[in-house]
Amino acid sequence: MKEAEQTIFARPESLTEAVTHYCPGCTHGVVHRMVAEVLDSLGVRERALGVAPVGCSVLAYNYFNCDFLEAPHGRAPALATGFKRLRPDMIVFTYQGDGDLASIGMSEIIHSANRGEKFTTIFINNAVYGMTGGQMAPTTLEGQITTTCPSGRNVAQTGQPIRVVELLSGLVTPAYLERVSVHTPRHIIQAKRAVRKAFRYQIEERCFSLIEVLSTCPTNWGKTPEEAVAWVEEALIPYYPLGCRKDPGQKESTDEAV
C-alpha cells in the first residue's frame, strides 16, 4: 500500500495567493513568508493586525491574510501604538524598511521602543531606498554607491550607517532586539526562530520586540540575486553583526554571533 503523499512545505495560511510585486530574488518575500508562518504556528492570524510602511513593502497588505493598516512614511510605530493601546488583545506588528524606520520614522521607533509598546517590528535593512529606485539610506554603507551618492557614500558628509538594534539597545526599557539575516538557508531558519520569539514575547505581553533583518535588493545593488546574497555576507554582516542585543528573557547578551 503506497504511503499517502504528505506535503511538508506549503504556503502558510497567513500569506495570500498573490504574486508579489517584489523584484526577483528580493528577500522581502522570504521575510513575508516567515512572518506568515509564525502567525500560523502561534495561531494568531485571526487577531493579528499589520501596519505597512511606505517603501517597497507598502503593498504588504496585499500579501497577508490579516487586517492591515497603511501608515504614512515612518509613522507605522505610532499607528501600532495607537491601535495596540486600544486593543492589547490583538497581535500587532509593523513591517518597515530602513528608510521608513531609520530615517523619517526614527523618532517614532525610538519612542515606541522606549515606552515599551507591546507590538513587534520587522525591520528590513537592505541599505538603500528600494521603492524610489535605490537612493542612499541611513543604513547605506561607507563607499556604497547609490543613486544619491553616485561616487559612494561619503561618511564625512553624511555620517556613518546607523546600527538600529544597537541604537535601540541603549534604551533602558526592556525589549527584545535581534539582528538576523535571510541570505542562506541556515540564516533563514535562525531568523524565523527570532521572529517567532518576538511574537511570542508579544503574546506573553512581555516587551517591545524588533527584529532587524538584513535583506537583499538585487535591482538597486546592481547584482544578480545570487551575488546579492553573497554581498550580504561580504559587506553587510561585517558592519551589521548578527545576534541578539537585548532580551528580557536572558542576561544582557553581548555580541553572541550566530
The residues of the shown chain that bind other proteins, judged by CB under 8 A, are 2-11, 15, 19-20, 22-30, 33, 45-49, 51-52, 58, 61, 64-72, 75, 78-87, 90, 107-108, 110-111, 184-185, 188-189, 192, 218, 224-226, 229
Indicate the residue among 34 and 207 with the shorter CB distance to other proteins: 34
State the Cα angle at 113 between 95 and 56, rounded to 5°.
20
Give least dist CB 145 to other proteins, A: 22
Cα separation, 45 vs 13, in Å, equals: 8
Indicate the residue among 85 and 222 with the shorter CB distance to other proteins: 85
Give least dist CB 175 to other proteins, A: 16
Give the H/E segment covering residue 113: helix 106-115
Give least dist CB 39 to other proteins, A: 11
Cα separation, 230 vs 192, in Å, equals: 20
The phi, psi pair for 133, rounded to 5°, reads 105, 25
Give least dist CB 154 to other proteins, A: 30
- 227: CB partners within 8 A, 6+ apart: 218, 221
Indicate the residue among 75 and 245 with the shorter CB distance to other proteins: 75
Indicate the residue among 52 and 207 with the shorter CB distance to other proteins: 52
- 162: CB partners within 8 A, 6+ apart: 102, 138, 139
Give least dist CB 77 to other proteins, A: 8
Indicate the residue among 99 and 161 with the shorter CB distance to other proteins: 99
Candidates 54, 71, 74; CA nearest to 132 is 54
